[in-house]
Amino acid sequence: MPKKSAPKQSTSKRSATKKRGRRSSKPADSSQRLQRFLASAGFGSRRQCEELIEAGRVDVDGQIVTKLGSTVDGSTQKVRVDGVLLKKQKSVYYAVNKPIGVVTTNRDPQGRPRVVDLVPPDERVFPVGRLDLSSEGLILLTNDGELAQRLTHPKFGVRKVYRVVVAGKVETETMREMRKGIYIAEGFVQVEGAKLLKSRSRSTEMEIVLREGKNREIRRILARLGHKVQSCLLYTSPSPRDRG
pLDDT in tens, 92-132: 899 999 999 999 888 888 989 999 999 998 888 889 888 88
d(CA 169, CA 92): 43
| pLDDT recorded at residue 244 | 37
Averaged pLDDT score across all residues of the chain:
80
Residue 233 CA to residue 100 CA, distance in Å, equals: 10
pLDDT confidence band for 12 (50 / 70 / 90):
very low
Q: Is 132 a catalytic residue?
A: yes
pLDDT of 218 above 70: yes
pLDDT value, residue 155: 76
How far apart are the C-alpha atoms of 160 and 243, rounded to whole Å?
Answer: 11
Instruction: Name the percent of the chain lying above pLDDT 70.
Output: 82
Residues β-bridged to residue 198: 205
Q: What's the Rg (C-alpha) of the chain? A: 26
Per-residue model confidence (pLDDT) at position 239: 42
Better-predicted residue by pLDDT, 57 or 156: 57
Neighbours of 203 (CB within 10 A): 17
Rounded to the nearest angstrom, the gap between the alpha carbon of residue 200 and the centroid of all alpha carbons in its chain is 37
Judge whether residue 41 has pLDDT over 70. Answer: yes
In the chain, the domains with their CATH numbers are 32-85 (3.10.290.10), 93-152 (3.30.70.580), 158-236 (3.30.70.1560)
What pLDDT sits at residue 29? Answer: 53
The dihedral sign for the CA sequence 45, 50, 56, 62: positive
Residue 40's pLDDT is what? 75
From 29, 59, 122, 132, the catalytic residue: 132
Determine the average pLDDT of the residues in 156-179: 87
| Helix/strand/coil (H/E/C) assignment for every residue in 35-89 | HHHHHHCCCCCHHHHHHHHHCCCEEECCEECCCCCCEECCCCCCEEECCEECCCC
- Give the mean model confidence (pLDDT) for residues 14-43: 62
At 52 the pLDDT is 92
